[in-house]
Each structure stands twice: as structure tokens, then as C-alpha cells.
């Protein structure tokens, strides 16, 4: 088959940084594809409302970037949910992405253990998570089956868990970088704002020969069986080396556009960018949903929720509070 001769216009990378976007890109010469996530007001709104201790907020911010990165790549209708459950000071992270661009997130943690980790200087991503598992769920509505991918959290970071997932489940060579930081702005009385960013790079060759990856280690193979090894493709070795040079600051710098970032990395082989999509911090909770949930509880449970003559429910994701008179939801005064 002849390759159609289509002229792809080339231009200089845009200097304008746009927050709260995901930009896909392609490095055709190296069979690489990827996306850059830049979050400003979205991640600031989510993390500010929760007012978690800073290391917990930072970790949740990383989970938000990763979820946006993966969820926006799925081209599905519906929800993509990333969830961790582990034995560290942060017991659970939940990030809920609804296509095409809504995100909400929350964490559950042990206050005393987080404070102890901060005091011990172990409150980084891996120290806060500990061991457990990392699950990704695709929910396309009540009449469809839910897909779930599960990998072990083994004392590593969220980046490690993402690499493990793509290696084991998808068998796609993948590198992910995530960064979150608080930015202090002059002139706002010392107010700080959260910023976050990330880049994902995947090796997706068109020819099956190049797509070969090593089989997973044969756990039940007879002793002495050599693990299957395939020499890594040079294009992937180059791509991975380039993406490992990305600094945290480059991922969150409001003055560096996503286009300039990928141009900085891949100007030699050449990089093509696609239209960026927008991300918004939106929660799906509503008074109607909360009312329906309360009505689904047993009479006894509803009666026990009455405090000072009313029932009050706070959304764990966005901290919105819904107040009901007991009679509204069939509870006794």
C-alpha cells in the first residue's frame, strides 16, 4: 500500500502555556506516543478544599495527574477510577475521572501516622502509601461490565505502580513522570497555589517485529529456565532516556508551554502535537443523589443520623454539605 503523501504543516511550538489541559503528541520517527498534563486551578481547587497535610495533598495531586493522563487516553464515555488501598499512613486515594474532562479526588489517611512520617522525613509518595494495591476501573454505565486492572503497591511510588501496570497488563513499554508543588506568588500576601504536571511516553511500533517485548517471568517454570529476554528497541531506549531528563520544575512551570516541553525533548526526531483537551474540577454529587442515598438506608440507620434535629451529609470529594429535615428523607425527628 502506498503511503499517501500528506503534507503536515510545521510551525514553531506555542510559547503560551495553557493550564488544565492534556496534550497528546507523537514522535513518529521513534514510534513513540505520549501526553502532557498541565494542571493549575483544577488541582489547586481540589487540594485547597480538602486542606489535607501538604505531603498527602502532594500525593493526591500526583494521583490526579496520573488519572487525567490515563483516563483522557481511553476515548470512552463514562468513568475511569483510580484507587489505592494500602497499609501506609495514607490508606486510600480515590480519583474519579468522567469523560471527556471532569475530575474529582479524595484521600483517607491516619492523621497521627502522617504527622509521624512528616517528623521522620518519610512522608514521600512511597513512604505514605506503603504496601497494598492499585486499581483502575472503567465504568461505562449500569448495563456494561466494569473493567478492572489491578497491580500490587510494593513500597514504591505511583509512577512505579503505573510502570508495573503497563508492563504486566498491557505489555506496552511506558514511562510516566509526575510532579506536584506549591507555588508561592508574590503580591498575594504569601498565598500559595498547587500546580501539577506530568508526561507519559509509550513505545507503540507499527511493525510486529519491533513490538516484541520480553515475556513475563515464568513463575512456575522448571528451575534453571532462563527468563525470556528481548533486546530493547533502540528507539525506545532513546525515548526513555529523553523523558528521564525531564525535571519536576519543567512539568509545573507556568511559563513553559506543553508544546515547548515536548519540542525541547524531541526536536531532533521531530514531534507532532494534537489538539489539547480541557480538564475541569467538577464533582458529580447533588442534593437529589444524596437524598436518594439516604432514602435507600434502613429506617434505623436514618434515625441514627439525626443530630440536633437535622441530617447533614458532607461529600467526601468536594466537601459540599447537604442538610435535610428528618421528615424529608423519612427519618423520625
Q: Mention every residue, 6+ apart, whose C-beta is less than 8 A from residue 122.
A: none
Residue spans of alpha helices (H) in the chain: 41-50, 54-71, 111-120, 125-129, 158-165, 234-243, 248-252, 258-266, 287-296, 299-304
- Nearer of residues 165 and 322 to Zn ion, judged by Cβ: 322
User: What is the pattern of x (binds Zn ion, CB under 5 A) and - over residues 268-297?
Assistant: ---------------x-x------------
Q: Specify the residue, 46 or 178, whose C-beta has the smaller distance to Zn ion.
A: 46
x-marked contacts with Zn ion along 296-315 as a string, rule CB under 5 A:
-------------------x
Name which of 60 and 283 has its Cβ closer to Zn ion: 283
Cell of 87: 497499609
Backbone angles phi, psi at 199, to 5 degrees: -140, 140
Q: Which is nearer to Zn ion, 93 or 246 (CB)?
A: 93
Stretch that binds Zn ion, among 76-84, 164-172, 247-255, 319-327 (CB under 5 A): 319-327
Q: What gap in Å lies between CA 166 and CA 216, rounded to an integer?
A: 12
Does residue 322 interact with Zn ion by CB under 5 A?
A: no
CB 99 within 8 A of CB 51: no
Spatial separation of the C-alpha atoms in residues 78 and 138, rounded to whole Å: 8
- Angle subtended by helix axes 41-50 and 54-71, to nearest 10: 140
Ramachandran angles phi, psi of 21, nearest 5°:
-140, 160
Binding map of Zn ion across residues 233-272, x = CB under 5 A, - = no contact: ----------------------------------------
As given in the structure block, the three cell numbers for residue 180 are 506536584
105 touches Zn ion (CB under 5 A)? no
The least CB distance from residue 111 to Zn ion, in Å, is 22
Judging by DSSP bridges, how do beta strands 280-281 and 79-86 pair with one another? unpaired
Q: Which residue, 48, 53, 11, 18, is CA-closest to 36? A: 18
Measure the CA–CA gap between 102 and 64, rounded to whole angstroms: 11
Task: Give residues with Cβ within 8 angstroms of 308, minimum separation 6.
Answer: none
Nearer to Zn ion, 261 or 285 (CB): 285
Among 27, 107, 318, 329, which residue sits at the site for Zn ion (rule: CB under 5 A)? Answer: 318
Q: How far is the CB of 68 from Zn ion (least distance, A)?
A: 18
> Measured from the CB of residue 69, what is the shortest distance to Zn ion in angstroms?
23
Min. distance of Cβ 291 from Zn ion in angstroms? 14
Hey, which residues between 7 and 26 contact Zn ion (CB under 5 A)? none
- Tell me: does residue 317 bind Zn ion (CB under 5 A): yes
Q: How far is the CB of 117 from Zn ion (least distance, A)?
A: 28
Grid cell at residue 255: 511559563
Only one of the segments 136-144, 214-222, 257-265, 318-326 lies at the binding site for Zn ion (rule: CB under 5 A); that segment is 318-326
- 290 vs 329, beta carbon nearer Zn ion: 290
Minimum Å distance from CB 151 to Zn ion? 28
Residues that bind Zn ion (CB under 5 A): 283, 285, 315, 317-318, 320
Amino acid at each position: 500500500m502506498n503511503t499517501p503523501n500528506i503534507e503536515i504543516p510545521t510551525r514553531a511550538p506555542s510559547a503560551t502555556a495553557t493550564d488544565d489541559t492534556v496534550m497528546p503528541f507523537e514522535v513518529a520517527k521513534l514510534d513513540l506516543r505520549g501526553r502532557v498534563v498541565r494542571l493549575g486551578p483544577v488541582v489547586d481547587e481540589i487540594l485547597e478544599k480538602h486542606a489535607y497535610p501538604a505531603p498527602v495533598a502532594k500525593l493526591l495531586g500526583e494521583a490526579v495527574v496520573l488519572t487525567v493522563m490515563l483516563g483522557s487516553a481511553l476515548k470512552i464515555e463514562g468513568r475511569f477510577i483510580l484507587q489505592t488501598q494500602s497499609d501506609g499512613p495514607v490508606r486510600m486515594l480515590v480519583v474519579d475521572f468522567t469523560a471527556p474532562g471532569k475530575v474529582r479526588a479524595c484521600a483517607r489517611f491516619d492523621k497521627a501516622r502522617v504527622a509521624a512520617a512528616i517528623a521522620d522525613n518519610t512522608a514521600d509518595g512511597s513512604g505514605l502509601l506503603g504496601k497494598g494495591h492499585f486499581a483502575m476501573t472503567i465504568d461505562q454505565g449500569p448495563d456494561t461490565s466494569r473493567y478492572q486492572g489491578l497491580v500490587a503497591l510494593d513500597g514504591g511510588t505511583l509512577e512505579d505502580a503505573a510502570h508495573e501496570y503497563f508492563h504486566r497488563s498491557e505489555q506496552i513499554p511506558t514511562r510516566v513522570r509526575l510532579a506536584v508543588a506549591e507555588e508561592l506568588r508574590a503580591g498575594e500576601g504569601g498565598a500559595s497555589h498547587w500546580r501539577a504536571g506530568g508526561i507519559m511516553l509509550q513505545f507503540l511500533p507499527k511493525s510486529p517485529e519491533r513490538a516484541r517485548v520480553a515475556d513475563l517471568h515464568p513463575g512456575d517454570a522448571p528451575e534453571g529456565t532462563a527468563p525470556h529476554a528481548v533486546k530493547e528497541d533502540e528507539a525506545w531506549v532513546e525515548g526513555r532516556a529523553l523523558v528521564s531528563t525531564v525535571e519536576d520544575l519543567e512539568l509545573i512551570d507556568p511559563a513553559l508551554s506543553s508544546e515547548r516541553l515536548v519540542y525541547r525533548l524531541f526536536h531532533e526526531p521531530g514531534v507532532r502535537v494534537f489538539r489539547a483537551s480541557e480538564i475541569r474540577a467538577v464533582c458529580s454529587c447533588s442534593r437529589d443523589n444524596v437524598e436518594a442515598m439516604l432514602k435507600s438506608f434502613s429506617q434505623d440507620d436514618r434515625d441514627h443520623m439525626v443530630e440536633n434535629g437535622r441530617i447533614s451529609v458532607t461529600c467526601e470529594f468536594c466537601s459540599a454539605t447537604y442538610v435535610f429535615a428528618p421528615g424529608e428523607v423519612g427519618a423520625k425527628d
